[in-house]
Structure 1
Amino acid sequence: MNFAQFLLILNARKKIALLTLAVTVLATVVVSLMLPKSYKATSTIVLNSKGIDTLTGLAMPGTLMPGYMATQIDIISSKNVAQRVVERLRLAESPAVQAQFAEATQGRGTVRDWLADLLLRKLEVEPSRESSVVGISFQGSDPQFAAAVANAFAEEYQRISVQLKSDPMKKASSYFVEQSKLLRDNLEVAQSRLSKYQQEHGIVSVDNRLDVESARLNDLSSQLVAAQTMAMEARSRGSVAQGRGGESPDVSNSPLVQNSRVTLAAAESKLAELGQRLSTNHPQYQSARAEVEKLRSTLNANLRLTQNSVGNNASVLSQREAEIRAALDAQKTKVLELNRTRDEMNVLVKDVENAQRAFDMAAQRLSQTRIEGQADQTDVAILNPAVAPLEAASPKVTLNVALSVFLGTLLGIGLCMLAEMFDRRVRSETDLTDVAEVPMLGAINWTPPKRKRFNFGKPTGPRQLRLN
């Protein structure tokens, strides 16, 4: 079948096509007019996508995630929000609604859940493309009711968004309260250990005391070095004085020894002078010699006394060296003990500092979570509240008629082709050769004349014969 044959079939069966089109359009118009009118109200909201918490000013990377918008849409169309809308509009309190619920579910379930499911079936949540605006639409037979439900969904979504943020903060606040109490107890225990340690060891300021004791240790070290030098020198002088007393500079330079030697020398000179004038038995000579002997004994006694004095000085310096060394050892022990005490106290101080830092952080976090848990700030704002629509959203008569014309045309063409399949006729010159396989010898071009009114005779008209 070519296109020309298709047009011939449609021309021959045009009554069927037109009748089908008319019936389809008429049925569509009747059904559209008989259907109840439905009104659609839309409330638009804006989701803050800046990712900044309005309370704390901190960045919220969760709002920048690709699934954030889909999550908010799921929350809006959740059953929890629908149940809140039912409670807000008090739909379950109507006796008519309760009767419908009993008839529809036979008393199974709750009116609240049943109404929430009905509302969700007529709810549409559509996000705008490439923006943070979301449209919440509800369709119903009453325009005022549709607008009220759409606005109720927007407002309840605002409230539940605040609740979804504040409830975890309230739980976290309770947790931080318990942790703050525990950390406060730990801080008090650490402070009591530090205070007890300071009282037991009599510590007021370890650093100042350690500085004083360290300075004293350095002073004793310097004194020990000086005492060691003086003791070594005194021992050397004592050895020389004990071995060779006359050659010892300490003995020779002693004023007592020098005076004894001068007196002895004068007495010996006098004795020698008397020995030249007098005999050894002369009383004056004997007296002078006795005096010389006495002065020599005095000189020897002074020498021994000076030698003993030099030796005693060495002993005194050695004893002083030993005392300074003992004091130095005791001071070293004291400084080491102070160092050990300081290290132990530093550990306790660190424990107190760590406990204080942990308590401060917990207290700060507790304050922040408590404020966030009590805040009613939200990142959802209602852009355009829903108003009662003036025109019905459905049925759309014009659109339905346009669709019925298209569908009726297709249905009419289909019925024409179906009728042609059951009653095939010759409608062109090619039908004989294609369908009946009969050679065509000629064609008669006959056009029936127009009938005149009140003419009951047989029509006559021109006939033309065309031989092939």
Structure 2
Amino acid sequence: MNLTQLLLILWARKKVIIGTLLVVVLAALAVSLLLPKSYKASSTLLLNYKGVDPLTGVMMPGQLLPAYMATQLDIIGSKNVAIRVVERLQLANSPAVQAQFQEATGGVGSINSWLAGLLLRKLDVTPSRESSVVDVAFSGSEPQFVAAVANAFAEEYMRATVQLKVDPMRRASHYFDQQTKLLRDNVEQAQSRLSKYQQEHGIVSVDNRLDVESNRLNDLSAQLVAAQAQLMEASSRKSMASGSMAASPDVASNPVIQNLRLTLGGAEGKLAEAGQRLGRNHPQYLSAQAEVAKLRRELDEQIRLTSQSVGNNATVLSQREAQIREALAAQKAKVLELNRTRDEMNVLLRDVENAQRAFDVSSQRGSQTRIEGQAEQSDIAILNPAVVPTEPDGPKVFRNVLLSVFLGILLGFGLAFVLELLDRRVRSAGDLSDSLDIPLLGAIEWNKTSQRRTGALGSLLPRRPRLT
């Protein structure tokens, strides 16, 4: 079917199209005039996108997501908010509403839930493009009622957002209170274990005591090294004094022995001189000989005493070195015990610090959530409250008639095509050629206008077809 055939069909069925158009337009006009007037009131809300929590100062990434606006729209149109509106306006207290509820549901269910469903059907929530403004509109037959419902939805939405934010914080605050008590008990128990350990071991300050004992250990180590060196030297001198007392440096350096040796040398000189001058039995010779013998005995005794004192000194140094060694071993054990005590005490100190840190964090977080649970501040603001409409919002007669024109034309075209399919006629040479599938040789044009003008006389004359 080409465009020419389509236009021929529409022209042939023009009465049907025009009739359908008139019927649809008249029906739309009648319905628009008979429908009751509808009023619409809108309340505008502003959703603040600050992005920062006023209490904690922390960025709130949830409000930066694209789904935030859609979530708020769902909250406005939720049944929870609608039930709040029903309770706020006390719609269920009306006897007429209760009678309608009984008639519609037979008393099954909640009247508040039923009314909330009716309100949501006439609620229209529209967000503004590229802004944080939301328009809450409600339609109805009474101007005062629609304005009250629109404002009630806006206010109850604000309260619902506050409750949705505060209720989790209050539950979290209760949880943190319990955790804070438990952590406080843990801190007290850890501190008690630490105090008991300090009392049992007599610890006042582990670090200072350890420093003193470590210094003492270092001193004993130095004393031991010095004592060992002195003992080695004394042992060498004892060995020399025991083997050859006269060759011992301690004996040779003794001033008493040196004086005795000088005195002995002088006495021997006198004895030799007396031996040359006097006889061996001379009293002077015997006196000189006795003097020399006495000095030699004194020298030998002094050498023996000096050698013995060197041995005694070595013995004393050996005993002192042993004592220092024992003190050093005891000091090492004491320092090791202090290190072990310090390690055990450090474990207890870390337990106290960890318990204290957990308690501080829990207490701080609990205080913060407690403040957040008490802060009934909303991020939503009513930009423009709904006012009582003075003019009806519907029905829109001009719009309905305009739409009915387009609908009537479409229905007329559709009806014309349906009738054409039920009663297909030849309306052009192309239709005849397509129907019979034979070539078209010519066409006779019939002029109905000329036939009407001739009247009865023309009907008696033979028809003159025109061959083209």
TM-score, scaled relative to structure 1: 0.88
User: Counterpart amino acid of 1:110?
Assistant: S
Instruction: Quote the offset at 1:281 in angstroms.
Output: 2.1
For structure 1, which segment, 307-316 or 350-359, has the greater mean C-alpha deviation from structure 2 after superposition?
307-316
Count matched residues. Answer: 461
Q: CA RMSD in A?
A: 3.1
Q: 5 Å matches for 1:303-452?
A: 303-412=303-412, 443-444=446-447, 446-447=449-450
Partner residue in 1 for 2:244: 244
Instruction: Quote the offset at 1:104 in angstroms.
Output: 1.7
Q: Secondary structure at the match of 2:246?
A: helix
Question: Contact (CA 8 Å) 1:444, 1:465: kept in 2 or not?
Answer: no
1:345 & 1:422 partners in 2: Cα distance? 105
1:318 & 1:423 partners in 2: Cα distance? 143
* Compared CA separation, residues 213 and 9, structure 1 to 2 (3 A): closer
* Compared CA separation, residues 335 and 379, structure 1 to 2 (3 A): same
Question: Contact (CA 8 Å) 1:444, 1:466: kept in 2 or not?
Answer: no
* Compared CA separation, residues 259 and 122, structure 1 to 2 (3 A): same
* Compared CA separation, residues 438 and 44, structure 1 to 2 (3 A): same
Instruction: Quote the offset at 1:3 in angstroms.
Output: 6.3
Instruction: Quote the offset at 1:421 in angstroms.
Output: 8.0
Q: 5 Å matches for 1:49-128?
A: 49-128=49-128
* Compared CA separation, residues 460 and 77, structure 1 to 2 (3 A): farther
User: Counterpart amino acid of 1:374?
Assistant: Q
Partner residue in 2 for 1:222: 222
2:126 & 2:136 partners in 1: Cα distance? 7
Instruction: Quote the offset at 1:461 in angstroms.
Output: 9.6
Instruction: Quote the offset at 1:54 in angstroms.
Output: 3.0
User: Deviation digits for residues 237-277 of structure 1, max 9, x if unmatched?
Assistant: 11111111111121122122122222222222222222222
1:219 & 1:425 partners in 2: Cα distance? 132
2:312 & 2:415 partners in 1: Cα distance? 151
User: Counterpart amino acid of 1:103?
Assistant: E
Partner residue in 1 for 2:286: 286
Q: Does 1:232 align with 2:232?
A: yes
* Compared CA separation, residues 281 and 101, structure 1 to 2 (3 A): same
1:432 & 1:303 partners in 2: Cα distance? 167
2:342 & 2:29 partners in 1: Cα distance? 100
User: Counterpart amino acid of 2:371?
Assistant: I
Instruction: Quote the offset at 1:137 in angstroms.
Output: 1.5
TM-score, scaled relative to structure 2: 0.88
Question: Contact (CA 8 Å) 1:442, 1:465: kept in 2 or not?
Answer: no
Instruction: Quote the offset at 1:217 in angstroms.
Output: 1.6
1:18 & 1:239 partners in 2: Cα distance? 150
User: Counterpart amino acid of 1:329?
Assistant: A
* Compared CA separation, residues 411 and 312, structure 1 to 2 (3 A): closer
* Compared CA separation, residues 363 and 279, structure 1 to 2 (3 A): same
Instruction: Quote the offset at 1:135 in angstroms.
Output: 1.9
2:89 & 2:43 partners in 1: Cα distance? 16
Instruction: Quote the offset at 1:76 in angstroms.
Output: 1.3
Q: Secondary structure at the match of 1:245?
A: coil
Q: Secondary structure at the match of 2:138?
A: strand
Q: Secondary structure at the match of 1:125?
A: strand
Instruction: Quote the offset at 1:85 in angstroms.
Output: 0.3
User: Counterpart amino acid of 1:177?
Assistant: D
Instruction: Quote the offset at 1:356 in angstroms.
Output: 0.7
For structure 1, which segment, 82-91 or 302-311, has the greater mean C-alpha deviation from structure 2 after superposition?
302-311
* Compared CA separation, residues 297 and 39, structure 1 to 2 (3 A): same
User: Counterpart amino acid of 1:399?
Assistant: R
Q: Secondary structure at the match of 1:37?
A: coil
Instruction: Quote the offset at 1:351 in angstroms.
Output: 0.9
User: Deviation digits for residues 138-190 of structure 1, max 9, x if unmatched?
Assistant: 11101221111111111111111111111111111111111101110111111
For structure 1, which segment, 327-336 or 110-119, has the greater mean C-alpha deviation from structure 2 after superposition?
327-336
Instruction: Quote the offset at 1:74 in angstroms.
Output: 1.7
Partner residue in 2 for 1:455: none
Partner residue in 1 for 2:163: 163
Instruction: Quote the offset at 1:105 in angstroms.
Output: 1.5
Instruction: Quote the offset at 1:6 in angstroms.
Output: 6.6
User: Deviation digits for residues 303-357 of structure 1, max 9, x if unmatched?
Assistant: 1111111111111122222222222222222222221111111111111111111
User: Counterpart amino acid of 1:137?
Assistant: A
Partner residue in 2 for 1:264: 264
Question: Contact (CA 8 Å) 1:214, 1:335: kept in 2 or not?
Answer: yes
Structure 2 gap ranges (5+): none
1:384 & 1:368 partners in 2: Cα distance? 34
1:265 & 1:18 partners in 2: Cα distance? 173
Question: Contact (CA 8 Å) 1:432, 1:438: kept in 2 or not?
Answer: no
